[in-house]
Amino acid sequence: MDAPSDISDPTQWLETPLSLLAPLESALRCQVCKEFFDNPVITSCCHTFCSLCIRRCLSADGKCPACRAQDQELKLRRNWAVQELVDAFQTARPRVLEFSMETARQAQAENREEPVHKKRKVAPAEEHIQVPEPSSEGRRTRSQRHHPQPEEHPAIENPQIIEDSQDEEEYIPEDGLVACPICNRKMKEEAVFSHLNIHQGDESPKKPQSTSSSFGPLRAPQKSLVFSGKPPERIPAINYSILKENALRKKLSDLGIPNWGPKQLLHKRHTEWMNLWNANCDSKIPKSKRELLQELDIWERTQGGLATGPSPFVSSTNVMRKDFDAKEWSSSHDDDFRRLIANARKKVGAKMAPATETAPTPSEPPANGSLVEPNIDADADHVIDLSG
Amino acid sequence: MQDHLPPGIAMVKCENLEEWQMDIKVLDQNPLYQDQTYRLKFTFSNKYPIEPPEVQFIQCAESTGTPRSIPIHPHIYSNGIICLDLLGSSGWSPVQNVESICMSLQSMLTANTRDERPAGDQEFVATNRRRIRDINFVYEDDNV
């Protein structure tokens, strides 16, 4: 979940000869956040999500989003194979995409200006890639894969494709052998898994992480997936209903997170912190507590006590969804709704008056500011829509 | 994304992350919806996708150039509010998305043969002041 500096999307493949990579890329993305898996974990029902995504889902309704089976965060297990897939794919992605788009552009250009003989060299490789794999054939054998290589190779080395040598590895033709991710010994692909058993029980990699760049280019994204040092301790879930407000407030300050606001908010903040923290425990490169506190601060401003969302009041996440009695809630708050609607209408009429009272935020943080207005507008529009 | 939507689904408005509008069409020959296009409004809270978006059909006047009406359906109120478990807290799952919702609604329309509004439509439309997600629908009918 990095900053969206470059937004990538599986549909980018569809315009290229490698359109079959679109479903592959979709499979490497979390179904909840639609990003590439970030610290993937697997549920008891064998579905994989980002650690943070599934933790948030489970704290909201205790069910797997994919199949709705009950599950608990304690049962989540890291899925490092998927992490490796994602890392490798993400490393390869920019160049493969660029290569594929370039090929598409060349094909287009050729179509326009008819016979261009110079480009002939590229064509075989391109055709080779274009051929969709009939699923019945299954995996290609190694011997098949090796044949086109003499032609493929120059195409890949084509200077147009290599963009400002962001990663310094060069293409090395496959020798059919792969390196063990732990000891780097070369062996046949199918031997790796049984070989890995030898390393089981090894607490740390034999080589320090910095040497990982000496792995072949095809192993490039390999960082040590083996735990280094002791894992940070996880925060246990607590039963909020048996905890008095002051005890909960103390727990929050013991954890080093803000402890202002009513109990409901303390509860939500604790849950979010627990999710952020425990998801971070699943990371192979854990963030510092400071970074996590910044993330909690973002949460505070978007969904917590400083949030001014369209419906902070009636949001069902005030209560765990599984315990939420919607009928009771809506009948007991009917007056509130009417009052809010009336307020909102007034506000729209009066234009632009900051409307902090509408947000049922705790009285303590006075920093609500001007973020409020657009939401109120939206709210009022919405209400008018419904009644009209 | 626009270019890769399933047939009968088109993006109309998606400038921000709070509200999107989509057009959907029913693709088969169901006479109730033939040759019609319907406009959907999605409103996302900042808890999406943990929480469902609010989804309703909206009307567009003739003068907009794209006249849109509210489809007739026993689970769609005449103000555009849709009674579909998928869109309520209990039926929602965070793996759903705009595209999957549109497809569910397409199939909900396709499968319908009844040319009617929900029971109590007039009263509901006249008195409902609740936001969509707070309406406590009873999903009694699985046939439609």
- Residue among A11, A309, A341 whose CB faces B4 most closely: A11
Chain B residues with CB within 8 Å of chain A CB: 1, 3-4, 18-19, 43, 45-47, 49-51, 58, 79, 81, 89-90, 93-95, 97, 128-136
- Residue among A34, A53, A326 whose CB faces B136 most closely: A326
Task: Give me the DSSP letters along A234-264.
Answer: PPPP--GGGS-HHHHHHHHHHHTS---S-HH
pLDDT at A269: 96
User: Are B26 and B8 within 8 A, CB to CB?
Assistant: yes
pLDDT at A164: 47
Window from A306-310, B42-46, B112-116, B137-141 with minimum mean pLDDT: B137-141
What tokens appear for A214 in the block?
Answer: 């000496």
Say which amino acid occupies B87.
Answer: L
This complex has an ipTM of 0.76
In a domain, B144, yes or no: no
Quote the pTM value. Answer: 0.60
Residue with tokens 């609740």, as numbered in its chain:
B130
The model's pLDDT over B68-99, given as tens digits with 9 standing for 90+, comes to 999 999 999 999 999 998 998 888 999 999 99
Cis amide bond preceding B49, omega within 30: yes
The 3-class secondary structure across chain B, one letter per residue, is CHHHCCCCEEEEECCCCCEEEEEEECCCCCCCCCCCEEEEEEECCCCCCCCCCEEEEECECHHHCCCECCCCECCECCCCEECCHHHCCCCCCCCCCHHHHHHHHHHHHHCCCCCCCCCCHHHHHHHCCCCHHHCCCCCCCCCC
Q: What backbone phi and psi angles, to 5 degrees, belong to B22?
A: -130, 150
pLDDT at A197: 61
Low-confidence ranges of chain A (pLDDT < 50): 1-5, 116, 118-173, 203-227, 310-324, 353-388
Q: What backbone phi and psi angles, to 5 degrees, belong to A152?
A: -65, -40
Domain boundaries, chain A: 10-37+79-157, 168-229, 240-302, 324-387
> Do residue A309 and residue B45 have CB atoms under 8 angstroms apart?
yes
pLDDT at A107: 86
Q: Which of A311, A330, A339 to mutate to test the interface with B (most CBs of B within 10 A)?
A: A311
> Do residue A385 and residue B50 have CB atoms under 8 angstroms apart?
no
End-to-end CA distance of chain B: 30
CB burial of residue A19 (10 Å; 0-12, 13-18, 19+): middle
pLDDT at B128: 78
In a domain, B136, yes or no: no
The model's pLDDT over A164-175, given as tens digits with 9 standing for 90+, comes to 444 444 444 455
pLDDT at A195: 66
Query: How many CB atoms sit inside 10 A of residue A51's CB?
Result: 25
| CA angle A315–A318–A323, rounded 5-degree value | 105
In a domain, B133, yes or no: no
What tokens appear for A121 in the block?
Answer: 């060299």
Helical packing angle, A122-130 and A149-157, nearest 10°: 110
Q: Domain containing B96 — which CATH number? A: 3.10.110.10
End-to-end CA distance of chain A: 41
Query: How many CB atoms sit inside 10 A of residue B139's CB?
Result: 13
User: Are A74 and A68 within 8 A, CB to CB?
Assistant: no
> Do residue B89 and residue A31 have CB atoms under 8 angstroms apart?
no
Task: Give how far B144 is from chain A: nearest CA, Å.
Answer: 22
pLDDT at B89: 83
pLDDT at A319: 42
In a domain, B140, yes or no: no
| Total residue length of chain B | 144
pLDDT at A8: 87
Which chain B residue lies closest to A65 (C-alpha atoms)? B93
In a domain, B137, yes or no: no
Residue with tokens 């019609």, as numbered in its chain:
B36
In a domain, B13, yes or no: yes
User: Are A126 and A102 within 8 A, CB to CB?
Assistant: no
pLDDT at A174: 52
User: Are A260 and A362 within 8 A, CB to CB?
Assistant: yes
Task: Give how far A279 is from chain B: nearest CA, Å.
Answer: 17
pLDDT at A143: 44
Which is more confident, B49 or A122? B49
Domain count, chain B: 1
Q: What band does B39 get if pLDDT is binned at 50, 70 and 90?
A: very high
In a domain, B93, yes or no: yes
Query: Range of B41's domain?
Result: 2-122
pLDDT at A109: 87
Listed in sequence order, the residues at least 6 apart from A217 whose beta carbon sits closer than 8 Å to its beta carbon are A169, A170, A171, A172
Query: What b/e string do you get for B61-78 counting C-beta neighbours within 10 Å, with b at 16 or more?
Result: eeeeeeebebbbbbbbbb
> Do residue B1 and residue A9 have CB atoms under 8 angstroms apart?
yes
Express as a percent the part of chain B with pLDDT over 70.
88
Strands B19-25 and B37-43: antiparallel
pLDDT at A258: 95
Q: Which of B76, B122, B131 to mutate to test the interface with A (most CBs of A within 10 A)?
A: B131
Query: What b/e string do you get for A283-320 counting C-beta neighbours within 10 Å, with b at 16 or more?
Result: bbebeeeeebeebbeebbbebbbbbbbbbbebbbbeeb
Task: Give how far A366 is from chain B: nearest CA, Å.
Answer: 21
Instruction: Provide the mean pLDDT of chain B.
Output: 88
